[in-house]
Chains A and B, each alone.
Chain A
Amino acid sequence: MSAYNFAFLDEQTKRMIRRAILKAVAIPGYQVPFGSREMPLSYGWGTGGVQVTASVIGPDDVLKVIDQGADDTTNAVSIRRFFEKTTGVRTTTRTDQATLIQTRHRIPETPLAEGQIVVFQVPIPEPLRWLEPRETETRKMHALEEYGVMHVRLYEDITRHGHVETAYDYPVLVNGRYIMRPSPIPKFDNPKLDRNPALLLFGAGREKRIYAVPPFTSVRSLDFEDHPFTIERWDQTCALCGAADVFMDEIVVDDKGGRMFVCSDTDFCERRRGR
């Protein structure tokens, strides 16, 4: 891979992306447009996250890549190999040993620490998109903090179904100002966003947006006083490690309705079993 620069992107592009990241950190939850490049992997498969990771990774970093909470899912393997090839940095599956974690759809169960960076892959960055398809409109709505339509949507869900009908990508209010899409993490992970000591960066390649939650920033899942935000719960504990209060994968074990539940976070599960 010597024909390519460290971490694939040229230094000019990295600088451009870092400037966008700095702006995103300065305005928590605000979507910063950036000159997203065409990457050698498919749009929708983590091009935004890969560009953010490529722009912040250094030779001393230790990288962890997960998809659905697992280090060994195909796309996580593919992205980890991409960075192994283009940077030669050390990789790990251990959350506590990684300096940089690229993730799709999950935040690890192991608490993150100060100094760590988590990069989220974002398919659709705009939280108001299903309510208003036009970018020109949604940008205006953010500028004017015109978020009534979102509250009305949540309210209508509750009147119709008794619950907010959003299980993942549940909208949050960042630093009391911008409504943000936490990328499609399950709402189970939303509380972990709040005042997290790690720097959380979100990259949407196809949609050409970067946004951020700086360490220790307030992130509130939208709710109502009489209908507080709740997360998923399972009656079962992990069939492998016995953990409770973690996000579960449901495994279909036979064709007769048999199910078992195991930790979605494979590193967390393995380390509990190892102890």
Chain B
Amino acid sequence: MYVAVKGGERAIASAHRLLAEDRRGDPSVPELSLDQIDQQLALAVDRVMIEGSLYDRELAALAIKQARGDLIEAIFLARAYRTTLPRFGATRPIDTGAMTIRRRVSATFKDVPGGQILGATFDYTHRLLDFDLIGGQRDGATSPDAAAPDGGVGAARDGDVAAPGGDLAAPGGDLAALGGRLPRVIDILDRDGLIEPEEPDSDRRSVGDLTREPLDFPAGRDVRLQSLARADEGFVLALGYATQRGYGRNHPFAGEIRVGEVELELEPEELGFPITIGEITVTECQMVNQFKGSATAPPQFTRGYGLVFGHAERKAMTMALVDRALRCRELGEPPASPAQDEEFVLYHGDNVEASGFVQHLKLPHHVDFQSELVLIRTLRAEAEARAR
């Protein structure tokens, strides 16, 4: 005799016990500490902070540990925590021109004021597995490339500045001449009117927040950029790549990519002046894109912008490509490709939403399926009757 399925509750509890065991793995292997994740899996922490929209290295490390290294799951954990936090207000726009630079490269000029600063980068490393890392034999942070004589332009971690032109300049001297600021490459083009000007929004306009208000189309650029910053890196990467291959091509040059620390300033209403509340690491990418000009605008370069928490150049660059693609309407380009389609990009880039909805197919659907079975059996019976 058939007995209706029961015991969902016990099954769930047992499944979660098994999950906890699997997460820990072999207990004879030492447990990961959050410091280890923060320090040695720093870029994973960055990604969770970026797509989780939550700047907190410790919580991101905790999420990664709890999620067994599944970064989308970790992003979900960070988001679900973030949503419970009160909103105190919006900071003033960060000044990336005043950034304490760790790395800064421009592809549009051989040399730029302040120099090209290679910083810590995978670029120019030869992707050879470093077997010395297996047993943790090597002490400290020397890289095989830096140690090898053919290390090329590889810069060490201590702030050496390497210009492709061959000049090695100490950042201190150069920076002093520049008034302590490393001017943004794009501002040089701006001064000559060669690139479209970008006027800051009024300080009084409130910044859009798609985590508090539903998306509305056409979305403001603030919401679009927020959406892209939070969007799944793989999704944005594929879209940005597609624009390079011709699906919404916008002729990009990497005007500048800079990574470093910026101060966050908040202006509490009762004070009337800004106070610094902390410092965060960000990666900024300014793309310079070609534009032929129109009846009303002279030929000039246009901009695509990317900004993310932490050190994440791939994400910032591809974000800038897609930002530029999404500006097609504003620039009078006919939207013809997915990357130029605002609804397509903004509705499908969120990996927490996408992952949830794709995986909800695991939930029981036997009622709907039964409805379909009844219908398809009816249709087949009718078709057979007709055939006879």
- Whether A35 and B212, one on each chain, are in contact in the complex, defined by CB atoms closer than 8 angstroms, is yes
* B373 interface residue (CB < 8 Å to A): yes
- Whether B211 and A38, one on each chain, are in contact in the complex, defined by CB atoms closer than 8 angstroms, is yes
In the assembled complex, the CB of B203 is this many whole angstroms from the nearest CB of chain A, namely 24
In the assembled complex, the CB of A156 is this many whole angstroms from the nearest CB of chain B, namely 15
A55 to B297, CA, bound (A): 51
User: Which chain B residues have a beta carbon within 8 Å of chain A's beta carbons?
Assistant: 2, 4-9, 11-12, 76, 79-80, 82-84, 86, 211-217, 343, 347, 352-353, 355-360, 363-368, 370-375, 378-379, 382
Cβ contacts under 8 Å, A42 to chain B: 76, 355-356, 359-360
Which of A75, A168, A234 is within 8 Å of B364, CB to CB? A75
Closest B residue to A239 using CB positions = B2
* A36 interface residue (CB < 8 Å to B): yes
A122 to B365, CA, bound (A): 13
Which residues of A113-136 are within 8 A (CB) of B? Answer: 123, 133-136
- Whether B357 and A33, one on each chain, are in contact in the complex, defined by CB atoms closer than 8 angstroms, is no
- Whether A69 and B367, one on each chain, are in contact in the complex, defined by CB atoms closer than 8 angstroms, is yes
Cβ contacts under 8 Å, B9 to chain A: 72, 77, 81
Q: Quick one: which of B8, B213, B355 has the most chain A CB within 10 A? A: B8
Interface code A142-186, partner B: CB below 8 Å = 1, 0 otherwise? 000000000000000000011101011100000000000000111
A44-B359, A67-B364 in contact; A206/B214 too (CB < 8 A)? no
Cβ contacts under 8 Å, B352 to chain A: 38, 43
- Whether A33 and B214, one on each chain, are in contact in the complex, defined by CB atoms closer than 8 angstroms, is yes
Cβ contacts under 8 Å, B80 to chain A: 38-40
A38-B79, A208-B215, A253-B2 in contact; A165/B370 too (CB < 8 A)? no
Closest B residue to A136 using CB positions = B217
A74 to B366, CA, bound (A): 13
Cβ contacts under 8 Å, A208 to chain B: 214-215
Cβ contacts under 8 Å, A239 to chain B: 2
- Whether A77 and B366, one on each chain, are in contact in the complex, defined by CB atoms closer than 8 angstroms, is no
- Whether A250 and B373, one on each chain, are in contact in the complex, defined by CB atoms closer than 8 angstroms, is yes
- Whether A74 and B356, one on each chain, are in contact in the complex, defined by CB atoms closer than 8 angstroms, is no
User: Which chain A residues have a beta carbon within 8 Å of chain B's beta carbons?
Assistant: 4, 10, 33-40, 42-45, 47, 67-70, 72-78, 81, 104-106, 123, 133-136, 161-163, 165, 167-169, 184-188, 206, 208-209, 232-234, 239-240, 247-251, 253, 260, 262, 264, 266, 269
Cβ contacts under 8 Å, B357 to chain A: 43-44, 123, 206
In the assembled complex, the CB of B7 is this many whole angstroms from the nearest CB of chain A, namely 7
- Whether A74 and B12, one on each chain, are in contact in the complex, defined by CB atoms closer than 8 angstroms, is yes
Cβ contacts under 8 Å, A264 to chain B: 367, 370
Q: Which 5 interchain pairs have the tightest Cβ spacing? A: A43-B356, A44-B360, A167-B371, A42-B356, A44-B357
- Whether A262 and B378, one on each chain, are in contact in the complex, defined by CB atoms closer than 8 angstroms, is no
- Whether A10 and B5, one on each chain, are in contact in the complex, defined by CB atoms closer than 8 angstroms, is no
In the assembled complex, the CB of A110 is this many whole angstroms from the nearest CB of chain B, namely 16
A105 to B83, CA, bound (A): 28
The DSSP consensus for interface residues of chain B is helix
A133 to B11, CA, bound (A): 39
In the assembled complex, the CB of B382 is this many whole angstroms from the nearest CB of chain A, namely 6
- Whether B363 and A35, one on each chain, are in contact in the complex, defined by CB atoms closer than 8 angstroms, is no
- Whether B368 and A184, one on each chain, are in contact in the complex, defined by CB atoms closer than 8 angstroms, is yes
In the assembled complex, the CB of A270 is this many whole angstroms from the nearest CB of chain B, namely 9
Q: Can you pick out 13 interface pairs between chain A and chain B where the beta carbons lie within 8 Å of each other?
A: A38-B79, A43-B360, A44-B356, A78-B12, A105-B367, A123-B357, A162-B382, A206-B353, A206-B356, A208-B214, A232-B370, A260-B2, A264-B370
In the assembled complex, the CB of A238 is this many whole angstroms from the nearest CB of chain B, namely 11
Closest A residue to B215 using CB positions = A208
Cβ contacts under 8 Å, A38 to chain B: 79-80, 82-83, 211, 352
Cβ contacts under 8 Å, B86 to chain A: 10
Closest B residue to A260 using CB positions = B2
A104 to B211, CA, bound (A): 25
Cβ contacts under 8 Å, A72 to chain B: 5-9
- Whether A167 and B360, one on each chain, are in contact in the complex, defined by CB atoms closer than 8 angstroms, is no
A266 to B7, CA, bound (A): 13
Cβ contacts under 8 Å, A81 to chain B: 9
- Whether A266 and B4, one on each chain, are in contact in the complex, defined by CB atoms closer than 8 angstroms, is yes
Which of A45, A74, A247 is within 8 Å of B367, CB to CB? A247
A40 to B7, CA, bound (A): 23
A42-B360, A67-B363, A165-B375 in contact; A248/B8 too (CB < 8 A)? no
Q: Quick one: which of A74, A232, A251 has the most chain B CB within 10 A? A: A74
In the assembled complex, the CB of A11 is this many whole angstroms from the nearest CB of chain B, namely 11
- Whether B359 and A248, one on each chain, are in contact in the complex, defined by CB atoms closer than 8 angstroms, is no
Given contacts A33-B216, A74-B363, 20 further A-B contacts (CB under 8 A): A10-B84, A36-B214, A37-B211, A38-B80, A38-B82, A38-B352, A43-B353, A67-B364, A72-B7, A74-B364, A75-B364, A105-B367, A136-B217, A162-B382, A184-B368, A206-B357, A209-B214, A232-B371, A250-B366, A269-B4
In the assembled complex, the CB of B60 is this many whole angstroms from the nearest CB of chain A, namely 16
- Whether B5 and A68, one on each chain, are in contact in the complex, defined by CB atoms closer than 8 angstroms, is no
- Whether A35 and B370, one on each chain, are in contact in the complex, defined by CB atoms closer than 8 angstroms, is no
